[in-house]
Structure 1
Amino acid sequence: MIGGGVHLGEDSKSCVERETYEETGVKCTARRIAIICENFFRGVGGAIDGKDCHELEYYYLMDMPKEAIFETSTDDDEKLEWVALDELSNNDIRPAFLKTELKGVIEGESLIHVINDERNV
């Protein structure tokens, strides 16, 4: 999943459009917010290593240009690639609830709120 941090004074919609462009080179438009997730996890690496963390995550449905098929890597050497909805369960996607919830969110119009706790997983 593409992710990043909101700049001071930046709204989440602008942030997701900027982060998508920065990580893929593709200009996309955020259509609507689909998921708000309170994500609890144990940090790994850097300043959060071993610490209990709590993130508020906003997941948007995005409109992308039809020609926007890409495969690239991030600055952290993470590989970015398109994954079909039917193949999500075959991949290590975090938070894990996305494997089961994403298809329903895309097909529906509702906003869901998820409290995800992976601190003891």
Structure 2
Amino acid sequence: MTTQQPADGFYLRNAASGLVVRAGHVLMVRGTWPDPNAETYWLPGGGQQPGETLAACAEREVHEETGVRVTAGQMLVLREHIAGNHPESNIPAESGHHRVEAVFWCEILHEPATLGGTNHDDPQTGVEWVPLDKVAGLPMIPPFLQRLLPGLAVQAAAGTAHAFYAGDVE
């Protein structure tokens, strides 16, 4: 689904991602965004559709991008990204981009024999289970999740995670 930018030059985009962990590995999408010349990793997720809850959005996006069917549980993180506040971002400030994203802990319902979804994002080049202890060394978007992800996954699996608002972070 494409978001149209209104005439006033500003748009707000809700999104959701799934944190899916199995045997000490996190399910991640690999691709060439935002730099077409460099490999980057991110949690499977994307834009919310009209009439869809954020939890349902996370479930749909995980399945579309990876082929794994999940059920979304606890919301772990709520984050915003306002392009105008991040001059280092690859999204120009004048784009009016403002994204609000929720990250949900997801339980696996069904995993296909071969990873791969049915509706990839254009820059997506693959899907893989990444060892949690390797996440810190990966180029990841959003960057703030890189340092938090391993601990967050352990806490969520143990049922001790507390949802938090991360604010407007890159």
Question: Which residue number corresponds to residue 30 of structure 1?
Answer: 72
Structure 1 stretch 19-28 or stretch 101-110: which is displaced more? 101-110
Structure 1's 30 and 23: CA in aligned 2 closer, same or farther, altered over 3 A? same
Structure 1 unmatched runs, 5+: none
Using the size of structure 2 for normalisation, the TM-score is: 0.58
2:111 is equivalent to residue 59 of structure 1: no
Of 59, 63, 70, 1:21 maps to 63
- CA drift of 1:63 comes to 0.5
2:82 is equivalent to residue 40 of structure 1: yes
Per-residue CA deviations over 1:32-88 (Å, capped at 9, x if unaligned) read: 1100011233454xxx79624221000001101475575447341412212121111
Cα RMSD for the two superposed structures: 2.5
- Percent sequence identity is 29
Using the size of structure 1 for normalisation, the TM-score is: 0.77
Which structure has greater strand proportion?
2
2:140 is equivalent to residue 98 of structure 1: no
> Moved runs in structure 1, 4+ residues, more than 6 A?
none
Question: Which residue number corresponds to residue 89 of structure 1?
Answer: 136
Corresponding residue pairs, total: 115
Alignment check: 8 A CA contact 1:43 1:49 kept: no
Distance, in Å, in 2 between the alignment partners of 1:98 and 1:69 is 28
Per-residue CA deviations over 1:91-115 (Å, capped at 9, x if unaligned) read: 1111111111122322132001112
Structure 1's 93 and 70: CA in aligned 2 closer, same or farther, altered over 3 A? farther
Distance, in Å, in 1 between the alignment partners of 2:93 and 2:112 is 35
- CA drift of 1:23 comes to 1.4
Alignment check: 8 A CA contact 1:43 1:52 kept: no
Amino acid at match of 1:93: M
Alignment check: 8 A CA contact 1:71 1:82 kept: no
